[in-house]
């Protein structure tokens, strides 16, 4: 997602620079507006394009997108502790763009599973 945001911003800068000129005040204001627009629009575009759906079951997390369905056992998920929405899934830090209520439910199930194993 970061790469696509950067690419969209750079393409927008080139187009804006060719239209109004690179040294003008309009270019500087337009660049700032473009940056804000790209940062605000990219999560909405991502949600519209991939149509992600997250389902939490007692034993697994199911992630459905346009690419397909991925079933992740809860044993393979651990908090990354960097940010509240980052989790270590199969050894990789993965962001979960879900609601706080969903994250709370996931944390509760992970805590229950770790207590069961002891």
Burial class for 87, CB neighbours closer than 10 Å (0-12, 13-18, 19+): buried
What are the residue ranges of helices labelled H in 21-99? 25-50
pTM for the complete prediction? 0.64
What are the residue ranges of helices labelled H in the chain? 2-20, 25-50, 100-117
SS3 of 78, please? strand
Specify the pLDDT at position 118.
52
62, β-bridge pairs: 55, 71
Place of tokens 């969903």: 102
Residues whose CB is less than 8 angstroms from the CB of residue 17 and which lie 6 or more positions away in sequence, other chains included: 27
Per-residue pLDDT of the chain (118 residues; tens, 9 = 90+): 778 889 999 999 999 999 999 989 999 999 999 999 999 998 888 878 878 899 999 999 999 988 899 999 999 999 888 788 899 998 899 888 889 999 999 999 999 887 766 5
Specify the pLDDT at position 20.
94
């Amino acid at each position: 997602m970061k790469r696509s945001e950067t690419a969209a911003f750079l393409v927008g800068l080139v187009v804006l620079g060719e239209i109004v000129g690179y040294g003008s005040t309009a270019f500087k204001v337009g660049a700032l507006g473009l940056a804000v627009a790209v940062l605000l629009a990219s999560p909405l575009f991502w949600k519209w394009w991939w149509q992600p759906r997250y389902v939490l079951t007692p034993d697994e997390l199911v992630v459905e997108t346009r690419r397909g369905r991925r079933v992740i056992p809860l044993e393979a998920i651990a908090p990354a502790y960097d940010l509240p929405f980052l989790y270590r899934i199969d050894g990789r830090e993965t962001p979960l763009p879900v609601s706080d209520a969903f994250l709370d439910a996931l944390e509760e199930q992970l805590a229950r599973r770790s207590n069961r194993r002891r």
